[in-house]
Amino acid sequence: MANNTADHPQGNSVAEVNHDGDFGCTMVQLRDLMELRSSEAVGKIAECYGDVQGICRRLKTSPIEGLSENTTDLEKRHAAFGKNFIPPKKPKTFLQLVWEALQDVTLIILEVAAIISLGLSFYHPTGKSSDYCGQVSGGVEDEGEAQAGWIEGAAILFSVIIVVLVTAFNDWSKEKQFRGLQSRIEQEQKFTVIRQGQVIQIPVAEIVVGDIAQIKYGDLLPADGILIQGNDLKIDESSLTGESDHVRKSLEKDPMLLSGTHVMEGSGRMVVSAVGMNSQTGIIVTLLGATGEDEEKKVKKAKTQDGIALEIQPLKSEEGAESEEKEKKKVNVTKKEKSVLQGKLTRLAVQIGKAGLFMSAVTVIILILYFVINTFGVQGREWTAECTPIYIQYFVKFFIIGVTVLVVAVPEGLPLAVTISLAYSVKKMMKDNNLVRHLDACETMGNATAICSDKTGTLTMNRMKVVQAYIGDKHYKNVPEPEVINRETLEILVNSISINSAYTTKILPPEKEGGLPKHVGNKTECSLLGLVLDLKRDYQPVRDEIPEEKLYKVYTFNSSRKSMSTVLKNATGPGFRMYSKGASEIVLRKCSHILDASGKLRAFKAKDRNDMVHKVIEPMACEGLRTICVAMRDFTTEPDWDNEAEILNDLTCICVVGIEDPVRHEVPEAIAKCQRAGITVRMVTGDNINTARAIATKCGILQPGEDFLCLEGKDFNQQIRNDKGEVEQERLDKIWPNLRVLARSSPTDKHTLVKGIIDSTVGETRQVVAVTGDGTNDGPALKKADVGFAMGIAGTDVAKEASDIILTDDNFTSIVKAVMWGRNVYDSISKFLQFQLTVNVVAVIVAFTGACITQDSPLKAVQMLWVNLIMDTLASLALATEPPTESLLLRKPYGRNKPLISRTMMKNILGHAVYQLVITFTLLFAGEKLFNIDSGRNTPLHSPPSEHYTIIFNVFVMMQLFNEINARKIHGERNVFEGIYRNPIFCSVVLGTFALQIVIVQFGGKPFSCIALTIDQWLWCVFIGVGELLWGQLISAIPTHHLKFLKEAGHGIPKGEFPEEELTEGSDEIDHAEMELRRGQILWFRGLNRIQTQMDVVYTFQTGQTAVPGALRRQPSVVSQHNDAKTVSSPTHVGISSSSLSANSAAAAEPPTPASSSTTGN
């Protein structure tokens, strides 16, 4: 092949140890070249390589044919220039996760208490008789029993180990799952390259140096490259340089393209010059030590580089780690307020924690006081040195009881339930075509009150076809036969459509016989190419005759232009011809002539234009057709091509076409479901208002006889802006509640609408808004929305980066599925809470009153830990994996302020707690009579387990097991078994817990303070447990509205509680629960509030998956100590957190603009 004849000048050929010698330039040379910018780079290329073609020759590649698919050649390139892969940060090892789990305050306290208890149990004082120290060790006749004092301490330590291992395993599997999810996203990311003359898409990881890549509007560049050919190319480099202005790229001025930057306009081709760790992004990642490879070494090396002391701290140093952690928190949670559920859970956990701490402290104080008064007051004993260890052992026992009350009071299972529920939902949502990038988006979607949807591709099929045309003064209701059109006009029309469209847009033969042709590229352009085929002509020969290199100038389509134009130099004589196409009313306004039936030019005046709008365009639009005008203009001399207003004027209209994009069959039903579920659907489109209204009516967004608004972007802006052109919230509040269709809207209008709805104070609660978007310019709106949906098929990389969820099928019905899953997550957490809090209330009251009355908790520390572990971990698994049902869509959204624990749930919690407490206390104070056994109350230290307390423990667990079935319903439904067989996890958890309980009671012995029970006793225990189900029916029969005294709990943050300054746009997220803690100054709760730390799942996921481009100047001295580089969804680029641009850096030329971090999503 021609591209393999490389003419390398001898001086430049470097034979290194690796394969660099096979190519005319080394990796280092290319890397140094990519460090240069604009004129410097152009000069260097000219000096060393001649031109870009020279670089292609050195790299043995052809600018037109690309590389061959030769495997040996590709492997050589991998060896010489590296792979296009940036290794992610190493995951935490299992041992690190164990260590993290051990940091929990309550567990540390238990460990300390258990160790003290263990130590004291081995201390046996000699001398005085045991009676001398009071009733302390009376009743322990058996020598062996006295030696068994160590068992309780050991059992507590063992239980703590189990809890820690379970927590660590959950974290580990969670991280593994998200890494799997991330790698799936990476595999799905493909890029267009030319190989053997064929345009193909390959995974970004397979791109090699020397590949010829095609770049277009909306792409996120996966590697560094040098421009070979470009049309109107503008790049957003803010993720690397912090400059928010788009950089124009051209061969003459600045041909350097960098990985991790976004194509905001235009198209072109580049030769890949650096990949993976050698690309500019890779170099920055190496500097930041974010790939987990020899971080300290690299940072120290970076410090000495160029003799400039960088302000990067070794990331492993304590201070550095701390600031990195803080930074991570700051960066990862840049959503508005914290996700709705998280906010409510955090507040609830704090409240429960406070109550638990209070109860446990009171328990310990009462136990100690009672013991001291009884021993030294009533019995009048002296405190002697010999008795000290025995007394201390008692105090340790009291302390353990207190800590146990606390352990049971704090719902550790809550973060686990959230984690499991979200992880389970995310996995299942993949099957429903929702690829969740940010975990909290899944749950926020359940609260959505408004959806702002695009029209094309989301509500419609995005399979466009020209069905009507106005050519040569005649309106054809169907595509005309080519014979009826003037030959010259037809020739001009075919040329215009073939040349003035992206050459990547094609119509390929159907994949299956009898199927529809495959549309590749822009769907509107595909419909116009389809028109050429319908007119019995072919576009490919025209393109072959005029390849992309011969196009003199291209004005690519963008949202402000709403048109695309291509200029050709006349082959025969002087002058130029420009072909244009775009939105009909916009292009027609610029037309001064039109081609008549005979193909001659005729003047086209304002009156003619108005006639055409009324007679042609409006009737087409009212049928839901999209209207496009195709026009042209001839220039005799070369004009100033940068004066766009002058160029795109004085056009000649060739034809106007009506394009049909049918509504998806399933959309009207999906929108009806949304409306029933209390969600308002709005259509935001760039189309003509009549087209938009017609489609909205077909979809059911507009209902006949309803008074809803349909506005064009221009009118919308007039109504919401004041004289100075600023958006006024008050004006916006008058419009958005009734607005259903926003047509001819720009991405800015979309962002204004979304922001206006979110910031609005109309109505009781703040709106939760979901937005769909596919274009590059939709990025700001997708980021501003509570949940941003990007289109997986039609969406650009930029939109996907800014989104929270990617719709892999671009279908509106998938959004409805997301709502269903979101509500299901919310309900799953509520179910778990209902169950968990019942256990907590009962266990705390039983331990507290039991300890105060009998000086010993009826439920021992180890038993409590078992209840806590099993009921927390297994119940969260069972209740958090309930599949969603359609009935979830029959109720209104919960909203931000709706409490997590409703009145019905509170009724269930208290109702079941009453039943369990009555049973437990009856057994505690009268159990020995009922079962005719010895009493277990007031037994001395280290006495053997009693049947009495074993029965209490067993009954307690049985009641929880059957109450778990009750907890499946939280809205007062009667049938608690409904759909139970659809959740095999639930069934296996309940049966598994039952089996384990049998093992513990029958064989647990001393460590579990249990003694084997008879079959009769077992049947009674199970019978009392089944009573829970019957009691549940009784509770659900009581109407909730009569129980006004019941308080709800777990509210969101009421509006009034936000101080003004906290609500400023773009300010860092404020954790209101933490503010509450600060007020209380109770550091203890930092440990208890495990929602924050264990919800790491959300943070892990975001860290692993999102680019948060911010600002990082090229000079090494600017990298601040707060840099937080994160590996992103593609293996090839990295996002630098917004804090990367150090404000105190002297080298920064000017402060970054706020827009610098607004390109992609967090």
Query: Helix and strand tally (H, E) in the chain?
Result: 41, 28
CB 269 within 8 A of CB 212: yes
DSSP 111-174: HHHHHHHHHHHT----SS-GGGG-TTSTT---HHHHHTTHHHHHHHHHHHHHHHHHHHHHHHHH
Can you tell me the distance from the alpha carbon of 935 to that of 948, in angstroms, rounded to the nearest whole number?
6
Can you tell me the distance from the alpha carbon of 846 to that of 854, in angstroms, rounded to the nearest whole number?
11
DSSP 519-561: EES-HHHHHHHHHHHHTT--SHHHHHHS-GGG--EEE---TTT
Q: Which two tokens stand for residue 979?
A: 């759909």
Catalytic residue check, 454: yes
Beta bridge partners of 594: 602, 653
Query: Dihedral sign, CA of 264, 267, 268, 273?
Result: positive
Beta bridge partners of 470: 475, 656
Can you tell me the distance from the alpha carbon of 739 to that of 704, in angstroms, rounded to the nearest whole number?
15
Can you tell me the distance from the alpha carbon of 937 to that of 935, in angstroms, rounded to the nearest whole number?
6
List alpha helices for 466-509, DSSP H. 487-499
CB 270 within 8 A of CB 259: no
Measured between alpha carbons, how far is residue 470 from residues 65, 490, 692 in Å?
40, 13, 21
**Residue that is written with structure tokens 């957003």 in the block:** 236
Strands 576-583 and 563-569: antiparallel
Can you tell me the distance from the alpha carbon of 994 to that of 1021, in angstroms, rounded to the nearest whole number?
12
Hey, how many other C-beta atoms are within 10 angstroms of the C-beta on 707? 5
Q: Which member of 454, 797, 827, 1124 is catalytic?
A: 454
Q: Look up residue 600 and give its amino acid.
A: K
The DSSP symbol for 964 reads H
Measured between alpha carbons, how far is residue 755 from residues 334, 487, 560, 771, 803 in Å?
15, 52, 21, 11, 16
Query: Dihedral sign, CA of 131, 133, 136, 137?
Result: negative
Q: Which two tokens stand for residue 100?
A: 């993290």
CB 241 within 8 A of CB 1113: yes
The DSSP symbol for 155 reads H
Q: Which two tokens stand for residue 830?
A: 């509520």
Can you tell me the distance from the alpha carbon of 128 to that of 976, in angstroms, rounded to the nearest whole number?
61
Question: Pick from 927, 963, 726, 742: which is nearest to 839 by CA?
Answer: 963
Beta bridge partners of 452: 682, 771
Can you tell me the distance from the alpha carbon of 60 to that of 76, in angstroms, rounded to the nearest whole number?
12
Three-class HEC string of 923-965:
HHHHHHHHCCCCCCCCCCCCCCCCHHHHHHHHHHHHHHHHHHH
CB 812 within 8 A of CB 458: yes
Q: Distance of alpha carbon 392 from its chain centroid, rounded?
A: 52
> In what side-by-side order are the strands of the sheet with 769-773?
434-436, 805-807, 787-791, 769-773, 450-453, 680-684, 739-743, 709-712
Can you tell me the distance from the alpha carbon of 700 to that of 722, in angstroms, rounded to the nearest whole number?
33
Question: Pick from 739, 755, 758: which is nearest to 747 by CA?
Answer: 755
Give the three-state DSSP class for 719. Answer: helix
Q: Look up residue 110 and give its amino acid.
A: L
CB 131 within 8 A of CB 384: no
Catalytic residue numbers read 454
